[in-house]
Amino acid sequence: MTLSSSRDKLRELRHVALDMDGTIYRGGQLFDTTRPFLKLLDHLAIGYTFVTNNCSHAREEYVARLARFGIEVVLEQIVTSADATITYLAKLGSEIGSIYVIGTPALKAALAGAGFQIATGKTEPGLVVVGFDTALLYDDLCRACFWIGRGKRFVATHPDTFCPTDRPTVLVDCGAICACITASTGCEPEVVVGKPDPRILAPVLERHGLVGEQVAVVGDRLYTDIELARRAGAFGVKVLTGDRHGEDDPEAPKPDLIVPGLAEFGEAIAASRA
């Protein structure tokens, strides 16, 4: 995309869909540029929603976390892969029966709150949902493999293989757990619902009466955030504050704009409207 066409696209922006981990903060550390960037969006009357694949926390927890960072948002400004998963499952109807869940209590509570029955113990489910389980138990993983191996439907909340952190560890994420299940059963998920699947962006577009061209998807990951922008017809902005995987891959999704961080993206938006 040329500089002039990029400026035209930025001038038409009405909303920004922001990734969280690696984009506005890393682990427990908020980037210095985040609050000034959000203040600029408010000044320019550009809306924003936080869209994350991390379904290990409830939306209410994200609202509280952002409040601790000095960022006040309402519940509707948070969209997680759990929300997209619930929308997908709702369209399957009552045929799915109960659900066996690999995930945190927050994911299970979100599914139960949406009216789905959560299978426990040896109860036979109709479907298995696999998410980001930060306290994964070996027995639970084996049970999920058992049911999937017996032909139960297999749904993954998102494809990320690790979650960014500022701690000296690797947080094994949903995609890696699913790879383990696939290696053990030979079965792939029937769907991976979170980014880059454009269904995760649909609530944002519907709530604000927007089309993809009026939205910027901002994130650090080429294969989720930038691919989501491509599939949704949105403006894809790659920030260099998080995951750098795939930047040398010629086959990786191409962002419309690459910036060091949110400050530079804000400058580009402001310049387009000068």
Residue 147 has pLDDT above 60, yes or no: yes
Give, to the nearest 10 degrees, the angle between helix 81-92 and helix 105-113. Answer: 40
Helix and strand numbers, DSSP H then E, in the chain: 10, 14
Task: For domain 3-53+195-272, say whether CATH 3.40.50.10860 is its number.
Answer: no
**Could you tell me the pTM of the whole model?**
0.91
Q: Over pLDDT 90: what percentage of the chain?
A: 84
- Give the mean pLDDT of 91-108: 91
166: confidence class by pLDDT, cuts 50, 70, 90: confident
44-63 pLDDT tens trace: 999 999 999 999 999 999 99
Q: What angle do CA 70, 224, 185 make, to 5 degrees?
A: 120
Q: Which residue has the higher pLDDT, 242 or 198?
A: 198
**Amino acid 1: pLDDT:** 56
CATH: 3.90.1150.10, 3.40.50.1000, 3.40.50.300, 3.40.50.1820. Which one for 93-192?
Answer: 3.40.50.1000
User: Which has the closest alpha carbon to 22: 135, 163, 199?
Assistant: 163
Domains 3-53+195-272 and 93-192 share a fold: yes
Rounded distance between C-alpha atoms, residue 198 and residue 230, angstroms: 9
What are the domain boundaries of the chain?
3-53+195-272, 93-192
Q: What angle do CA 86, 172, 152 make, to 5 degrees?
A: 45
Rounded distance between C-alpha atoms, residue 232 and residue 249, angstroms: 22
Q: Give strand pairing partners of 156.
A: 130, 192
